[in-house]
Amino acid sequence: MCTCRLRDLKQLGLTYMVYPGAVHSRFEHSLGVFSLAGEAVHRIKAQQGSELGIDNLDIQTVKLAGLLHDVGHGPFSHMFEREFLRQIPHGIKWCHEDMSVRMIDHIVDFHHIDIDAECLKKAKEMVIASTEHISHKSVNEKHFLYDIVANGRNGIDVDKFDYIVRDSRACGLGCSFQIERLMDSMRVMGDEICYRDKDYLTIYKLFSSRADLHRTVYTHAKVKAIDMMFVESLIKADDYLQISSKIQDPAEFWKIDDSILKTIEISHDQELKEARDLILRIRRRDLYQFCNEFSVPKDKLEHFKDITPQDIVCSQGNGDITLKQEDVVVCNVKIDLTRGRSNPLENINFFQDFESNEKFPIHDYRISHLLPAFCEDRIVRVYSKNPDLVKTVSEAFENFQLKTYGMKAQVHATPDRKRNRRRLEQSY
C-alpha cells in the first residue's frame, strides 16, 4: 500500500511537461537503488567479507534501506518540501528522510511484519545517514555500510548512481559517468569506503553529471516556471484540501501523491477556482514569462541573500506602469557539487592499488589544472506573471543589477520579441 504509492510519484515531478520522457516513477528508482545497494555490499563482501565481518543480516539491511529510502517522499519531486511547504503560512520545516523513517515504522506496524528489530533500526539509520541525523547511527557498528545508500560523509552513494543515469536517459541526455568502474574500485579502509586514485576523475564526473542535470533539467527555466505556478496553485488549494495538515501522520500522508494535480483540475468546487485556473494556464502553455537571469558574481557569493520580488519592484524606474510584488516571480537557483562552495572530493580517501594499506586524500591540482576552482553557482531568474509586463519587469531587473553590482550581470538582453510579445500578437 505505502510502497506502491511510489508508482504514483514521478521521479522528476512536472519535468515531463518540458522533457516528455521524464515519466519514470520513484518506484522504479527505489528498485534501482535496492539492486545497486545489494550489488555494492556483495562486491565488498566478496573482496573483504572475512576481515570486515559482513554477514547476511548486513546485506539484508543495506538492501532494505535502498528499497525504502524514498518511501516518505512527497509528490512532485523536491518541489513539495522545498517550495510548497516553506511558502505556506507559518512555513513548515519537513524533510522526506524523516518521513521515510516514520513510514517504515507505519508499514511494519500496520501490516504486522515480523522483522529483526536490529535490522529495522539500522535500515532506518541508513535512510537518514546523509542528513543532520548522521551522528545517530549505531556506535562502532560497521560505519562503511551507512555510506552505501545515503552517504553523508562525501556524497558518493548508490542513490546518485541510479538517478543520475536514469534521469539522463529519460531526458535524452548523455552520461559519461561510469557506475561499474566505481563499483569495481570500492575498498573499505579504516571503516570507510575508499577508491583507487586512478578513479579521481570518474568520481568528479559523478558530481559534475549531477550538477549538469540540475542546470539542464531540474532547474530548466521553463521547468521552474511550471513548478512555481503549480506551487502557487497548491498554496491556493491548501486550505480547502488540507494538504499540509496531512504531512505529519503516516496514515494520512501515504494518500498524498501526484494525483493532487488532477484532483484540483477536474474539481468544480468554487474554493478551488484560483488553483484550477493556474493549472489551466499550465496546460495551455500560458506560463509565467521568463525575463532574464544572471549568475551571482563569485566575490558576492559568501554574503548572498535570496533576491525577492520586492527587490525587483523597488528597482523600477519611471514609467507608465507601476509594478506590484504579485506581478513578479523570482527564482533563486543553487547548483553545486553536493557540498556548497566546498569541493566534495576533499572528503574522499583514495588508495594506490589493492595491495596498499594506506589511504590518502588527493588535491585536485595534482590531477588537473582544468578542474573547477569553485564548486557553486547561484543563478537569479526573474519571471513576469503577465506577458504584458515583460518589458517593465526586465527593465526593473536590469536596474536592480546596476544598483547592486554596478553593472548588468546578465549575459544577454531580454529579446525584443519577448518584450513586445503582446503588441506583436495584437498586430495580427
Tell me the C-alpha distance between 235 and 85, whole Å: 9
CA angle in degrees (0–180, nearest 5) for 228-329-78: 30
CB atoms within 10 A of CB 322: 9
Tell me the C-alpha distance between 406 and 128, whole Å: 44
Tell me the C-alpha distance between 16 and 23, whole Å: 6
Instruction: Yes or no: say if 314 and 323 are a contact pair by the CB < 8 Å rule.
Output: no
Catalytic residue among 96, 106, 220, 268: 96
Instruction: Yes or no: say if 175 and 164 are a contact pair by the CB < 8 Å rule.
Output: yes
User: Pairing mode, if any, of strands 376-384 and 289-295?
Assistant: antiparallel
Instruction: Yes or no: say if 288 and 225 are a contact pair by the CB < 8 Å rule.
Output: yes
Tell me the C-alpha distance between 133 and 87, whole Å: 25
Provide long-range contacts, Cβ within 8 A and 24+ apart, for 84-87.
84/231, 84/234, 84/235, 84/244, 85/244, 85/247, 87/231, 87/235
Mind giving me the DSSP string for 198-234? Answer: GGHHHHHHHHHHHHHHIIIIIT-HHHHHHHHHHHHHH
- Is 369 a residue of the active site? no
Query: Any idea which residues carry the catalytic annotation?
Result: 96
